[in-house]
Amino acid sequence: MNPTKFQQTNFHKSETRGFFDFGWLKTHHTFSFGSYYDPERVHYGALRVLNDDRIDAGMGFGTHPHDNMEIITIPWLGTLAHKDSMGNIEEIKKGEVQIMSAGTGITHSEFNASKTNPAGIFQIWVLPKKRGIAPRYGQKAFPASERENKFQLVVSPNGDDAAEKGPVWINQDAYFSLGNFTKGQKIEYHKYIPTNLVYTFVISGSIESDEIKLETRDGYGSESANQNWIAQEDSELLIIEVPTIG
């Protein structure tokens, strides 16, 4: 893929995302995906896909292939049942983060593990640093108590999947952080790599800076070295820091 020229600043209101209702699946796409295409929203640097999926009980995505993509899944509701061609059979629930380096090629399926309750996930794709690597899988739990009024690093190029604590590893110079902030709290994020871009996504709540206000499911991309916000209400944030190109 040859990424198109990125915009230095991107502001994506939640209602401007692509939306599809397949009955069993209700999905919002921040960036172009499937039948949703916007030439101004193909990607943001190496961040290629940010999908917000709600999956009915017992339903899901049958076995399908991927290659040369870093795929990050963050459940926001319920539990997801995962099975892949690497032999992994896992359940991923809210509070956990899963990553797959598709590399030379994998197949996998994802289903709502509950027969009675809906599930919700963010599925995020990042263009890889190295193509053609051996496929790999990582998954960890990240206690919410460790991100109260601060950011908790959950994905990084220096992660160690085997370690009990710390982020999972990604095949890219990218960093994912989660944070839960109480109303009135000052929020500061400092980039790990000065040349990277930062995409701020509000999972819930609202935050405000001198320039802009973000509400639930809004996204904002910036190349500024430091991100400074004030929580206008109790807010849950996802920060995605990525290189300017994949």
Which CATH number covers residue 84?
2.60.120.10
Q: Which amino acid is at 197?
A: L
Instruction: Count H helices and E strands in the chain, helices first.
Output: 0, 22
pLDDT (average), residues 116-121:
97
- The reply to whether 150 falls in a domain is yes
Cα separation values, 68 from 122, 180, 200, Å:
19, 32, 25
pLDDT greater than 80 at residue 164: no
- The reply to whether 160 falls in a domain is yes
- The reply to whether 173 falls in a domain is yes
* pLDDT confidence bin for 243, thresholds 50/70/90: very high
Summarised one tens digit per residue, pLDDT across range 73-89 is: 999 999 999 999 999 99
Domain of 115, in residue numbers: 12-242
Average pLDDT, the chain: 93
Q: How many domains does the chain have?
A: 1
- The reply to whether 2 falls in a domain is no
CA 91, 125, 141 angle in degrees (round to 5)? 35
Residue 214: per-residue pLDDT: 97
* pLDDT confidence bin for 5, thresholds 50/70/90: very low
pLDDT (average), residues 100-106:
95
Summarised one tens digit per residue, pLDDT across range 10-30 is: 899 999 999 999 999 999 999
* pLDDT confidence bin for 226, thresholds 50/70/90: confident
* pLDDT confidence bin for 64, thresholds 50/70/90: very high
Cα separation values, 35 from 11, 26, 71, 204, Å:
22, 14, 19, 26
* pLDDT confidence bin for 119, thresholds 50/70/90: very high
- The reply to whether 200 falls in a domain is yes
- HEC string of 65-111 equals EECCCEEEEEEEECEEEEEECCCCEEEEECCEEEEEECCCCEEEEEE
Summarised one tens digit per residue, pLDDT across range 201-218 is: 999 999 999 879 999 999
The answer to whether 108 and 66 are in contact (CB under 8 A) is yes
pLDDT greater than 90 at residue 47: yes
Cα separation values, 42 from 18, 69, 200, Å:
12, 15, 17
Question: Cα(75)–Cα(124) distance, rounded to whole angstroms?
Answer: 11
Residue 165: per-residue pLDDT: 84
pTM score, two decimals? 0.93
Query: Which DSSP letter does residue 33 get?
Result: B
- The reply to whether 4 falls in a domain is no
Looking at the DSSP assignment, which residues form a beta bridge with residue 64? 108
- The reply to whether 194 falls in a domain is yes
Question: Cα(230)–Cα(151) distance, rounded to whole angstroms?
Answer: 14
Distance from the Cα of residue 151 to its chain's centroid: 15
